[in-house]
Amino acid sequence: VLGTFELEYVQDEKGGLDLRQTIAQGPKAIYRFIRQVGAELYYTGILSPDVIVSDSRLSSSIAALARGIPSILIINQLLIIIPISEKTREEYKIKAKSIAEKVILEFMANIWRRSKKILIPDFPPPYTISKKNLVLSEDLCDKMVFIGPLISKYPEELPGKNELRKQLGLPMDKTIVLVCPSGTRKEKRALSSAIVDIVRRINYEDIFFIISRGDVFAESEFHMGKNYIVYGWLKDKFMYLKAADIVVAHGGHTTIAEAMYYGKPMILIPTTGHTERLSNSESVCEMGIGEIIRQEELTVETFSNTLSKILKSDNYFISSRRIMKEIGNFRGHEEAAKIIEGLVR
C-alpha cells in the first residue's frame, strides 16, 4: 500500500458540507492535488504497470495519460453538482454554479474519455442508484459498463433471518430498524446521535433499533435502552443487515446497494449540501423502496411519520424483495476482474 495525498471537504457542526469554507481552501486543495498527481506519476514510473485502475481518482487518470499506460476508471458519479443553500437563491449564484459545473464536467470528461473502459459499480437501469449523476456524452456512454455494486458479503453467504436474530440475541417478535450512517466520522456521529435522541423520546413498543456509530475507533462503545442498542462499531454489519427489517442511512451509494441486495426498505437522511446522496436517495424513492427525510427536516415527528408510513404499507417490502431477486446475481468484483484481465491480455 503506497501513501498519497488526500483531498477533503470542510464540514459544519452537523456534518454537512460547508461550501464556503471548502472553497476557501481552494489554493491548498490545488496544491494537494498537484502533489497527488506527482506522487502517482512517481509510483507509476517505478512500478511500470501494464494497466492503471482509477477508483474515481482524477489524479490516477492523469498519471496514466501522462505515462501512456492504458487505464480503467471505476466511478459512479460523473456529473458534478455544486450544492447551493436554499437560503441563497440569487440568480447570479445559480448562473455561476451552472457555469462552474459545466467547466468541471468538461475538464473531467476530457480526461475520463481517454480511459479504455469506464466501470460503473451500480445496477443497470431501471435499478441504477446513481442515475442522476451519470449524464454523459455519447463517447463516454460507449465505454461505460454497469458491473454491479462492490459489496463484501452477499445474503446467501449468511444464515436465515430468524437464525441470525437468535445468534445476535435480538427480539424475534419486533420490527428491527438498523441505523448505519456513512461518510466522515463527524457525519456518522451527528446522524447516530440524532436518531438516539429521537428513539429515547418516543416509546416504540413493537420496534427495536440497532444504532451503529460507524466508528472503528469506538468499537468498545456499547449501551442499551428499553428499545435500542448503540454500538460504536458493528464487526459484521451484514449479519445485522440481514436480521433487520428496515435500514436508516445517509444515502451513501454503497449502503443503498447493500440494502437493495438484502431486500430492505430504507429511510434515507442525506447530509445537507451532499448532492450525490440526495440524488441517490431520490432514486430509491422512485423505485418505491424507501423515503427521504432531509437532514435539516429531521425531527421526532418527521422520523416517526416516515417510519409509520413504511410499516403501514406492504408495497415497500414487496418492492424491495422483488428488486432483490432481480439484482441478486450481480457480482461487481468478478465482472471488474474479468474486464481488467481482458485489457492486460
Total structural domains within the chain: 2
Residue 127 shares a structural domain with residue 208: no
Residue 176 shares a structural domain with residue 286: yes
In this prediction, residues 100-112 reach a mean pLDDT of: 65
Number of H helices, E strands in the chain: 13, 11
Q: For residue 102, tell me if it sits in a domain.
A: yes
- Model confidence pLDDT, tens digit, residues 235-265: 899 999 999 999 999 999 999 999 999 999 9
Residue 145 shares a structural domain with residue 204: no
Question: Residue 23 sits in which domain range?
Answer: 19-149+332-344
Residue 91 shares a structural domain with residue 168: no
- Residue 16's pLDDT is 46
- Residue 103's pLDDT is 59
pLDDT at 18 over 50: no
SS3 of 69-113: the string is CCEEEECCCCCCCCCCCCCCCCHHHHHHHHHHHHHHHHHHHHHHC
Residues recorded for the chain: 345
Q: For residue 5, tell me if it sits in a domain.
A: no
Residue 24 shares a structural domain with residue 161: no
- Residue 17's pLDDT is 45
Residue 165 shares a structural domain with residue 300: yes
In this prediction, residues 307-332 reach a mean pLDDT of: 97
pLDDT at 12 over 70: no
Q: For residue 14, tell me if it sits in a domain.
A: no
Q: For residue 8, tell me if it sits in a domain.
A: no
Residue 167 shares a structural domain with residue 296: yes
- The residue whose grid cell reads 431501471 is 126
Residue 263 shares a structural domain with residue 339: no
Q: For residue 10, tell me if it sits in a domain.
A: no
Q: For residue 13, tell me if it sits in a domain.
A: no
Q: Which of 175, 180, 126, 172 is nearest to 151 (CA)?
A: 180
Residue 89 shares a structural domain with residue 166: no
- Residue 95's pLDDT is 60
Q: For residue 11, tell me if it sits in a domain.
A: no
- Residue 5's pLDDT is 54
Q: For residue 271, tell me if it sits in a domain.
A: yes
Q: By mean pLDDT, which of 79-88, 294-303, 317-326 is the weakest? A: 79-88
CATH at 250 = 3.40.50.2000
Q: Predicted confidence band at 55 (pLDDT cuts at 50, 70, 90)?
A: confident
First to last CA, the chain: 25
Residue 36 shares a structural domain with residue 140: yes
- Residue 9's pLDDT is 46
Residue 317 shares a structural domain with residue 280: yes
Residue 173 shares a structural domain with residue 89: no
Stretch (H or E) spanning 312: helix 300-312
pTM for the whole structure: 0.83
Q: Is 162 exposed, middle or buried (CB count within 10 Å of its CB: 0-12, 13-18, 19+)? A: exposed
What is the overall mean pLDDT for the chain? Answer: 86
